[in-house]
Structure 1
Amino acid sequence: MSKYSLEKILELMNHPSNIRNISVIAHVDHGKTTLTDSMVSKAGIISTKLAGEKRVMDTRKDEQLRCITIKSTAISLYYELDEQSLPQDSDGNSFLINLIDSPGHVDFSSEVTAALRVSDGALVVVDCVSGAFVQTETVLNQALSERVKPVLMINKVDRAILELQLEPEEIYQQFVKVIESINVIISSYEDEYLGDIIIGPTKSNVAFGAGKQGWSFTLNQFAEMYAKKWNMPKEKILKRLWGDNFWDPKRKKWVKTKKDKEGNVLERGFCKYVIGPICQLFKLVNQKEKNEKALNKLLNGIGVKLTNEEREEESKELLVTIMKKFLPAADALIEMIIYHLPSPKVAQRYRVQNLYAGDQNDECAQAIANCDPDGPVMMYVSKMIPTKKKGRFYAFGRVFSGTIKSGQKVTILGQNYSAEFPKKDRFITKVQNTVLMMGNKIEPLIKCCCGNMIGLVGVDDYLVKTGTITTHENAYPFKQMSFTVSPVVRIAIKPKKIQNLPKLIEGMQKLEKADSCVKCLIDEKSGEYIIAGAGELHLEICLKDLKDDYCKGIEIISSDPVVSFSETVTQESSQVCLAKSANNHNRLFVKAYPLEEGIINTIEKVNKDQKIYSTNNFLNTLTTKYSWDKKFVKKIWAFGPEQTGPNLLIDTTKGIQYLNEIKSACSAGFQSFTGVGVLCNEPVRGVKIEIKDVKLHADSIHRGENQVIPMAINSFYASELTAKPRLMEPIFLCEISVPKYISGQVYNLLNQKRGIVLSEIPKEGSNLVIIKSDLPIIESFGFNADLRSATQGKAFEQCVFDHWEVVEEDPLKEGTRANKWMKETRVRKGLEPVPFPLEHYHDKL
């Protein structure tokens, strides 16, 4: 075991070629945190005996109690390799691995996004029995979209051997399925900058093992073992240990066919020389009293020596002891990470285009690409981590260029900063301290070179969730992260005693800062205090943190969870809608149209901080794929809400005098309209507003913003009401693993919950089936408990937000389900149960 040395870590931080920044990602309960224990123990931070049991990266009490990771946690690990075989670009044989253990539950996917933004590589962990689930695909897609290179760990191999008692050939076939499923996802991303990232055991970027037992291996390790034993080139052996390579003992040669000339079944190289001996070892240990001689012979053959105390251990403990000595998990993982994942010096060359919002030829972009320690400081803060001092936060992120120091004067560009309005969300301050995050501990630093993950003290007052920290006067910010989950589930809260309201509001502000996905809102009309999150579990954790940490000592009352809707239109407005300004000197004529789903998706895929209307690819898509008129495409005025949402405001007028003077006011009205629609003040989605005509007063004093903005909002509301408005509800993609013989119970439950079954796929090698279905989020509350009850606890579900779906019923027609939802939402927000009629917004000529 290595001895933990902070001095060596600090020294290596100045050598980007010997740094690896990685995130461990997986589906929930596939063994990320227990696997990470082995790497932490190898670095000398915990003992080898505790590896797999301590779960050192679960730093919260509720994580330990629930056995689930809730917040991503970073730690820096120091290792030394054999000097005889080092990566080409390395500077010596010492390496620093900055590792982040991320959550697997879909409700905490925003933590995965934040972790991947500051990583260059990803260790993807998959349970060899369960295989890749929907969340495995989600987190891998997140990694690839951030240009983060993956390697694979097939975990829980002990389950295949002990629980399922599979034969070596069956285990091999199970491995093949897992690898193929991961490669299918990878192959859908064609990125010339990432190069060939297809994984394969002969490339040594796939490991197999059992994190809880503390062992794993790559084929490279076995090839080296047999190369010494047989006195053959390692590369030649490596190729024989995977795929259709069978050993023919009679002819003493490798063949490609499964049977010899006499029809005898031959043993695959992987089964005979890799997994076969491991299975044999498991059997001998489990029956050690009967097979003591055979066990001792095998242990001598693999070079494992046991003490007298270890020999007296029970079979289960003895097996773990032997496997940790024979194939220590950290050795295989470190080999994969150091040899097959890039250093910051390599990765930042191709990641800079995805990261930096400015010109790729400017000084900051070049410094990021070169990982230049002498360039301007460019650091991205991906999340805020609460400190032990209540109410204060570490700004955690990565330094991409330059060297950041304690006491240094820096410029902070918040997540709402825009180069068009350079004074907004821009602050100049000093960094109080720089710290190294070590799980639940911190280590103080004097300075930090580029290529490293660090925490900053003293800048939390200027950041809400994320941001850019720089020393360059004209730097552009880093691009905002794109999350796979949305805060579509919400609860209303209030203090039991009204005098505690200021403390509650302050606590909500801190909660919002600490969580990338949570939104804390105050509805001015209803007076409600709202927390919005990704799902039931996410809201439960948020409420717990609010009560225990940010509002400690006050009693909080919370409502049942409710769902956020969206509003849309389903046809062209039945008439041109007119709205007049309050002074009756200006008139605006508009119509609303539904946007095609393809256009909506295209808009949503564009990074939020990009100016979408200047993105030529998007404009070309509108004209070529969707046959839009080029002259109107060039006259897109705004996207909304927040200038990024999937709604368009387009000027289709000709020869209107003074029109450019009201553009910003109309855009502001459009932002207001798309943020709170006419039906129930919910965000608008998939609506195009066309300005058909404008009548403006000749004197500019009569066409100011106070006249134009209310006029624009009224005209947009009127156009929505005349375009067959509908509610949209959020839909989960629900993946349920259940034994085939009780799958009928799942179908019945889904039917009750308005779920639509998309597919049912048998899981080979077991009696399980995987049922995929669409499940309305409004029906998902309590679904987990109902599913457990209906299947006697034998079904496991995972739900991830998938899409918005139009509710076909007319929300303005009494008695419909949509009308009920609209009224409930309006009453909850303190509005009248029914929206104002068309005449309230639409003026007559």
Structure 2
Amino acid sequence: MADDKEQVRVITTIGHVDHGKTTFVDSLLVANNIISPRMAGKIRYMDSREDEQQRGITMESSAVSLRFKMSKTGQGPIGSVENYVINLIDTPGHVDFSTEVSTASRLCDGALVLVDVVEGVCTQTITVLRQAWLDRLRPILVINKCDRLITELKLAPIEAYHHLVQLIEQVNAVMGSFFAAERMEDDMRWRDERERRLKERKERGADEGESAAASNMEDGIEEAFKEKDDEDLYFLPDRGNVLFASAIDGWAFRVGKFAQLYAAKLGIKEANLRRVLWGDFYLDPKTKRVISHKHLKGRNLKPLFVQFVLDNIWAVYQNVVIEPNPDKVIKIVDTLGLKIPPRDLKSKDTRYLLSLIFSQWLSLSTATFQAVVEVVPPPSLAQRQRIPKMLYPDLSYDATTDIEPKNKLEEDLYSCDDSPNATIIAYVSKMFAVKKKEMPENKRKVMTAEEMRAAGRAAREARAAAAAAGTTSTEVISTPLEVPTDETPAPDEKAEDEGEEEVLLGFARLYSGTISRGTKLFCVLPKFNPSLSPSHPSNVKHLAVVDVASLYVMMGRELVPVETVKAGNVFAVAGLAGIVGRNATICGPGLGLGRNVDLEQADAEKECLVNLAGISGQAAPIVRVALEPENPADLPKLVSGLRLLNQADPCVETFQQETGEYVILTAGELHLERCLKDLRERFAKVEIQASEPIVPYREMAIKAQDMAPPKTPNAKRGTILGSTAQNLVTFTVRAAPLPQAITEFLLANVSILQRLYREGQQKKGGDTTTRVVEGSQQEGAGGEADITGEISRQATVKPEDFWKSLDALCKKAGGEWVDVADKIWGFGPHRVGPNILVDRMTGAASIRKKSQKLNLLQATMTSSTPEVGTPTASVAGEIRYLRDFDDCFETAFQIATNQGPLCAEPMQGMAFFVESVQVGGEGSAADADAVQSKAATVRGALITAVKEAYRSGFLDWSPRLMLAMYSCDIQAATDVLGKVYAVVARRKGRIVSEGV
């Protein structure tokens, strides 16, 4: 690791599947002598899994630390070099593993965005560009596989140039769309803030004229401040943030490379030539001056990029690969001043000769490392731009540079302080599993040549001594094999069994401070609230103390143990298993302060605690299957394996259904196949049976033509009259379909419903760890897919505005929905679903006001003694009702909406109204007392009766079964559009829009 944080860079490779990311990294590994040049692009060193090698695609992100020496120019002593350390994370491109991209980009400052020059911008390219935008990474565009323009498409240099221009424009159009969307959000946020300030002025009673004048002046200032230039966001070759490359042939360049080569020859300053080498600029052969397009005057001249760059590359391919010409190859090598041995020039392997020429002329590693060093900022500058957005997610795109640190913790984070006294802040983005036998401390030590010679001498001396003592030759030979040495421990059955176990490590980056092995630090889990004290009841279970057992530098397939890690580096950490689910923040005071980390003293160390959790852009798992072991006795192993898989894979979701089945949710079929393979071979190590993918359905009802008459005459459709045995409790309920707008609103804000219910339970002192409340059994797990079956959506409103927005939608729907928001009793199923229970009884209170109403009634009861027939007596009856039967109607509602009458699937978009409830038939106090004495029996019967009434009311409408639909984007050429439509139609799909 580098000693100077200014010489550290942290980058990731992102792009569509099969656009050459892993092959590109192979070429970078060659520069560090990790693999041989002949194996680059073939070994796929970063793909350590067997199935990755077989399929030829990356499935898990992996990291490697590379060193690069670069000579100083224009400063310092002549010939001095600087040593840089580049932490590189290779990520998958397949859509099933997009979560790996999210976890990797959170740790990085820059990104190499690879785009296949032939395939162009694909769907996953847009996805990873958006991820880089959200995480504020500094991107470098790598136009890869440029050799395909020559060998496959057989384009002329001028045709290839126009193709490259269009490709860069496509990528820039994507970046421009992100900027436009961000600008609209900033404008909306600014307008909301402006309205809030004006409202505050009016509330303070300020003069209206003065207020308007001040606001107009402030509007002008802020509008000028808000407007920002988007020029720096785009990829432009003359700025050095575009690489043209062919990873398989080992070459890459920026236009600055050719500007450096031709500056002296053309007599033009290098900086000036770099600006005109890309674009519509031409060299006048007569005047030897660079002219623009408008000065061509009809002449057929080649652009400078074609003349000085592409023509030369095309000539090398033409004479080395397409039509081999040894004489011209020798001339090219001499002209370029390359040093290639004569035997290699005569090689029959033209691809190897081609890579030799390009590796010396246009080295891929040199061009890439130079671009990374010049374009991607060091951690001290990058964190100044990125950390404010992590701490304050609502900040606008350009506001992050204006935020000043508020305390020592933010100062250390913004500056990437690695001093001993700096606060230790590390973010663990994911957990990954490594076989125990592959850990460095468990590997057999490789004997050096000197040790082997010493062992040989000892063996010869032993044989000589044995011969002198009369020992047989067989015994002499077997002696050293039976006595294991420290370097080669004897294998035994127990050791082999232990070697198959998995060790969970944290994939992390240190943002400030210096972390050492053996240090005890705070572990802040994702649900920790920094605004509350660590000892607060809601924070206690989300804060732990961890012992940093080991630290490692990740080198692809290998782990290198280290004693300390400084800020700005990516590393692996052991000691988090059993505490960290998927992601966490590791915090603690600086090592130089000498303070102990103890949960009992957490309040005193609050200033060093921060929660950086929150990965954006994660793909929701949508493919679900039920699992069971072939041998029922292996069920505990399967459960243990699922727990390990849930931690080791950031995208998978595992849970147990109410039916007892163990279900796994994955991002796609390929992801599912990988998870099942890991369960069978690594985590559970048992044979597993997997069901067919479970398709989630929903039951709903609509108003259709030619429906049967209502079940209850002279009443609204959906009305059902019900009662318990002997008419101890009679009731009237009604079912009705919800307006579409309200249903969509509830579906989009499931997370807010969960939060509101959880807060209500905390106020009551109830348990909030049940499955129906949390919706996830793992810290930081993503969303509600495991309880409601819905894919997690982004909430459309803030929690404090939820009821106001719902009330506005109800009033907009009109009719009987106008006052529904104030009378909502509950949501379902699981208390967070898109169905509502409405209290229509006269004088009854809504779910938001019921507790206050009950307190008021209790106060009335204690202040006076009620008499039969008085209003206070009716209040007493209402209290008895609220206490005895309130939960029965809601419990029946939860059961009915969770299992509908059609096929026991959850309901969606239904409202159930409780119209009336009467206790004891005639309603006398004596009958009510009789019901009270049989309360336990009546409650069970009442739940069953109400549940069946809800279902009957649902069936009074026209019931429908909703099939899950997945939205996707399809890119296809115009000549195959008809076939695409046919395939989509066969899959019961529907085209909602199309564009060119």
Deviation at 1:151, TM superposition (A): 1.2
| Cα pair 1:581 1:711 within 8 Å, conserved | no
Distance in 1 between residues matched to 2:904 and 2:53, nearest whole Å: 41
1:281 and 2:316 matched: yes
Aligned partner of 1:727 in structure 2 is 962
Distance in 1 between residues matched to 2:628 and 2:622, nearest whole Å: 20
Kindly tell me: are residues 499 and 616 of structure 1, through their superposed partners in 2, closer, same or farther at Cα, counting changes over 3 Å? closer
Aligned partner of 2:668 in structure 1 is 535
Aligned partner of 1:513 in structure 2 is 647
Aligned partner of 2:869 in structure 1 is none
Kindly tell me: are residues 715 and 268 of structure 1, through their superposed partners in 2, closer, same or farther at Cα, counting changes over 3 Å? farther
Deviation at 1:305, TM superposition (A): 2.2
**Partner letter of residue 555 of structure 1?**
E
Aligned partner of 1:84 in structure 2 is 73
The two structures have a TM-score, normalised by structure 1, of: 0.75
Kindly tell me: are residues 325 and 712 of structure 1, through their superposed partners in 2, closer, same or farther at Cα, counting changes over 3 Å? farther
Aligned partner of 1:560 in structure 2 is 692
1:308 and 2:342 matched: yes
Q: Out of 98, 110, 115, which is 2:87 matched to?
A: 98
Deviation at 1:197, TM superposition (A): 2.0
Q: Out of 239, 256, 263, which is 1:203 matched to?
A: 239
| Cα pair 1:80 1:94 within 8 Å, conserved | yes
Q: Deviations over 1:73-123 (max 9, x none)?
A: 111111121111689xxx982222111100011011111111111112111
Distance in 2 between residues matched to 1:53 and 1:47, nearest whole Å: 10
Aligned partner of 2:502 in structure 1 is 391
Aligned partner of 2:538 in structure 1 is 421
Give the greater-gyration-radius structure (CA).
Answer: 2
Kindly tell me: are residues 358 and 250 of structure 1, through their superposed partners in 2, closer, same or farther at Cα, counting changes over 3 Å? closer
> For residues 14-53 of structure 1, what are the structure 2 equivalents within 5 Å?
14-53=3-42
What residue ranges of structure 2 are gaps of 5+ in the alignment? 183-225, 395-404, 437-500, 590-601, 705-715, 753-779, 784-793, 839-844, 856-881, 920-927, 929-933
| Cα pair 2:134 2:616 within 8 Å, conserved | no
| Cα pair 1:674 1:685 within 8 Å, conserved | no
| Cα pair 1:493 1:531 within 8 Å, conserved | yes
Q: Out of 372, 391, 401, which is 1:337 matched to?
A: 372
What residue ranges of structure 1 are gaps of 5+ in the alignment? 1-8, 763-845
Deviation at 1:549, TM superposition (A): 0.8
1:218 and 2:350 matched: no
User: Helix, strand or coil for the counterpart of 1:735?
Assistant: coil
Kindly tell me: are residues 287 and 486 of structure 1, through their superposed partners in 2, closer, same or farther at Cα, counting changes over 3 Å? closer
> For residues 472-511 of structure 1, what are the structure 2 equivalents within 5 Å?
473=602, 474=606, 475-511=609-645
Q: Deviations over 1:677-733 (max 9, x none)?
A: 757777788889999999999xxxx99xxx99x989989995995897753513141
1:126 and 2:115 matched: yes
Identity across the alignment (%): 31
User: Helix, strand or coil for the counterpart of 1:29?
Assistant: coil
Aligned partner of 2:450 in structure 1 is none
**Partner letter of residue 501 of structure 1?**
L
Richer in helix (by share):
2
Q: Out of 296, 306, 310, which is 2:330 matched to?
A: 296
Aligned partner of 2:475 in structure 1 is none
1:466 and 2:608 matched: no
Distance in 1 between residues matched to 2:28 and 2:345, nearest whole Å: 26
**Partner letter of residue 530 of structure 1?**
V
User: Helix, strand or coil for the counterpart of 1:100?
Assistant: strand
Q: Deviations over 1:566-604 (max 9, x none)?
A: 677879997799999999899999985544698579759
Aligned partner of 1:380 in structure 2 is 427
| Cα pair 1:589 1:694 within 8 Å, conserved | no
| Cα pair 2:701 2:960 within 8 Å, conserved | yes
Deviation at 1:756, TM superposition (A): 3.4
> For residues 342-381 of structure 1, what are the structure 2 equivalents within 5 Å?
342-356=377-391, 361=406, 363-373=408-418, 374-381=421-428
| Cα pair 1:641 1:647 within 8 Å, conserved | yes
Richer in strand (by share):
1
The two structures have a TM-score, normalised by structure 2, of: 0.65
| Cα pair 1:405 1:446 within 8 Å, conserved | yes
Deviation at 1:505, TM superposition (A): 1.1
Kindly tell me: are residues 357 and 236 of structure 1, through their superposed partners in 2, closer, same or farther at Cα, counting changes over 3 Å? closer
Kindly tell me: are residues 54 and 513 of structure 1, through their superposed partners in 2, closer, same or farther at Cα, counting changes over 3 Å? same
Kindly tell me: are residues 425 and 310 of structure 1, through their superposed partners in 2, closer, same or farther at Cα, counting changes over 3 Å? same
Distance in 1 between residues matched to 2:822 and 2:83, nearest whole Å: 55
> For residues 793-812 of structure 1, what are the structure 2 equivalents within 5 Å?
none
| Cα pair 1:152 1:207 within 8 Å, conserved | yes
**Partner letter of residue 481 of structure 1?**
I
**Partner letter of residue 80 of structure 1?**
K
**Partner letter of residue 512 of structure 2?**
S
**Partner letter of residue 44 of structure 1?**
N
Aligned partner of 2:519 in structure 1 is 408
Kindly tell me: are residues 585 and 655 of structure 1, through their superposed partners in 2, closer, same or farther at Cα, counting changes over 3 Å? farther
Distance in 2 between residues matched to 1:23 and 1:683, nearest whole Å: 42
Kindly tell me: are residues 221 and 363 of structure 1, through their superposed partners in 2, closer, same or farther at Cα, counting changes over 3 Å? same
Distance in 2 between residues matched to 1:433 and 1:211, nearest whole Å: 35
Deviation at 1:70, TM superposition (A): 0.6
Kindly tell me: are residues 486 and 450 of structure 1, through their superposed partners in 2, closer, same or farther at Cα, counting changes over 3 Å? same
| Cα pair 1:43 1:77 within 8 Å, conserved | yes
Q: Deviations over 1:47-84 (max 9, x none)?
A: 33322222111111111111100101111111121111
Distance in 1 between residues matched to 2:406 and 2:795, nearest whole Å: 19
User: Helix, strand or coil for the counterpart of 1:444?
Assistant: strand
| Cα pair 2:583 2:613 within 8 Å, conserved | no
Aligned partner of 1:769 in structure 2 is none
Aligned partner of 1:813 in structure 2 is none
**CA RMSD for the aligned pairs?**
4.9
Distance in 1 between residues matched to 2:511 and 2:945, nearest whole Å: 43
Q: Deviations over 1:482-515 (max 9, x none)?
A: 3442221122221111111111111111111111
| Cα pair 2:749 2:797 within 8 Å, conserved | no
Distance in 1 between residues matched to 2:251 and 2:560, nearest whole Å: 30
Deviates more, 1:606-615 or 1:277-286: 606-615
Aligned partner of 1:751 in structure 2 is 985
Deviation at 1:279, TM superposition (A): 0.6
Deviation at 1:210, TM superposition (A): 0.5
